[in-house]
């Protein structure tokens, strides 16, 4: 499931940012980062009480989360990404440079602009949008 979702998350990232990078052209590290983001999104949804289920007749599924949950997921995803970057030696810099390992988003969630926060929620949006393609739904919380 994650294998398909990470490619879809990358395509969504390209759509939102205007990037044209192909999945196959990403380095192994960036591919794994996409996989980790999708796994983290699924775990965050499960942590809020949503349930991953196989699609069956009459399956209910969620399409969005509450604003409070969205903010928590954005923050958790940015914290995951930030730890990954810091462990790889990326400092904060005004301009991004892959070869130099510089990134302006190596800051706390509170310091991010709205566009970058949207990117932090993108893996979760992708999971909610494409789980059905894989035969699953994210079911509502138990009453």
- In this predicted structure, what is the pLDDT of residue 83? 96
Sign of CA dihedral 98, 99, 102, 108: positive
Sign of CA dihedral 118, 121, 123, 125: negative
Encoded tokens for 105: 């988003």
Q: What are the backbone dihedrals phi and psi of residue 10, each rounded to the nearest 5 degrees, phi first?
A: -65, -40
Residue 31: helix, strand or coil by DSSP?
A: helix
Output b/e per residue, 22-53; b: 16+ Cβ within 10 A: eeeeeeeeebebbbbbbbbbbebbeebebeee
CB-facing half-sphere around the CA of 61: CA atoms within 13 A: 19
Q: What is the pTM of this model?
A: 0.88
Contact between 133 and 7 (Cβ < 8 Å)? no
- In this predicted structure, what is the pLDDT of residue 98? 86
- Mean pLDDT of the chain, nearest integer: 90
Encoded tokens for 65: 């989360």
pLDDT digits (tens, 9 = 90+) for 47-92: 999 999 999 888 888 989 999 999 999 999 999 999 999 999 999 9
* Euclidean distance between CA atoms 3 and 81, whole angstroms: 19
- In this predicted structure, what is the pLDDT of residue 133? 87
């Amino acid at each position: 499931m994650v294998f398909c979702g990470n490619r879809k998350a990358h395509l969504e990232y390209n759509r939102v940012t205007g990037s044209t990078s192909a999945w196959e052209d990403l380095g192994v590290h960036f591919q794994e980062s996409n996989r980790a983001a999708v796994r983290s999104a699924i775990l965050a949804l499960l942590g809020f009480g949503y349930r991953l289920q196989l699609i069956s007749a009459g399956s209910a599924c969620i399409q969005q989360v509450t604003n409070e949950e969205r903010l928590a997921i954005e923050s958790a995803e940015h914290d995951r990404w930030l730890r990954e970057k810091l462990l790889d030696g990326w400092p904060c810099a005004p301009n991004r440079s892959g070869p130099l390992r510089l990134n302006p988003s190596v800051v706390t969630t509170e310091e991010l602009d709205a566009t970058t926060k949207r990117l932090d929620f993108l893996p979760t949006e992708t999971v909610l949008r494409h789980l059905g393609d894989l035969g699953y739904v994210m079911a509502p919380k138990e009453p």
